[in-house]
A and B are shown apart, each in its own frame.
Chain A
Amino acid sequence: GENVEQHPSTLSVQEGDSAVIKCTYSDSASNYFPWYKQELGKRPQLIIDIRSNVGEKKDQRIAVTLNKTAKHFSLHITETQPEDSAVYFCAARGNTGRRALTFGSGTRLQVQP
């Protein structure tokens, strides 16, 4: 089955700096890659997603890049703010059969004011 690895497990940045979180996946048939933000005690919230026919997608301060050949994708947050502090999860999903998300282990991002 699919396996998703996520790095780093913790990341501390100064307010205004950029943050990058990286994920690799194992199943070359995976074609959908969402990113979720989870604040303490709350539900995972979708912040951005990308499909395999696109190499990059941007939404204001957030961008995701996908390299299908290398089977890795990354989340980029620019001009970080204290409210960006949370746990971020990447996930991967195939296109046929079981349409389950396989999640990475999470990155705890701390933005220091």
Chain B
Amino acid sequence: ETGVTQSPTHLIKTRGQQVTLRCSSQSGHNTVSWYQQALGQGPQFIFQYYREEENGRGNFPPRFSGLQFPNYSSELNVNALELDDSALYLCASSLLAGRSTDTQYFGPGTRLTVL
């Protein structure tokens, strides 16, 4: 198992609400990437944080936002929830530096259900 943890495990929200998901990266890693995995599909890239700055973003609207903290843990915030936001949210941590392999290791995910 990786050292990447996520909380909460499951979450149920209603349309229009806001949600915050949390990720603790593996020790020694400085980069966190967030992915959305809808049922039966592959993960889709939301954004990546490197040293507390956004380092790239996928095709997700601005109501998806994030933060990375000095200890490299991260938050994903989603405002104005829609039914289609129901999915498994995965974070992946990696070490982005010099000759590092930059391999991404996933956390267990947060299952978000929007009613």
Question: A: which residues have CB within 8 A of B?
Answer: 6, 32, 34, 36, 42-46, 49, 89, 91, 97-106
Contacts and interface: CB of A to CB of B under 8 A. Distances in A.
Contacts of A99: 31, 48, 55-56, 96, 102
Nearest to A51: B101
Nearest to A97: B56
B106 A45 contact: yes
Contact of A98 (B35, B41, B56, B103): B56
B45 A46 contact: no
Given A43-B108, A103-B43, A98 B57 contact: yes
Interface of B: 2, 4, 31, 33, 35, 40-45, 48, 55-58, 90, 92, 96, 102-109
Contacts of A103: 42-44
A46 B43 CA distance: 14
B28 to A, nearest CB: 16
B58 A89 contact: no
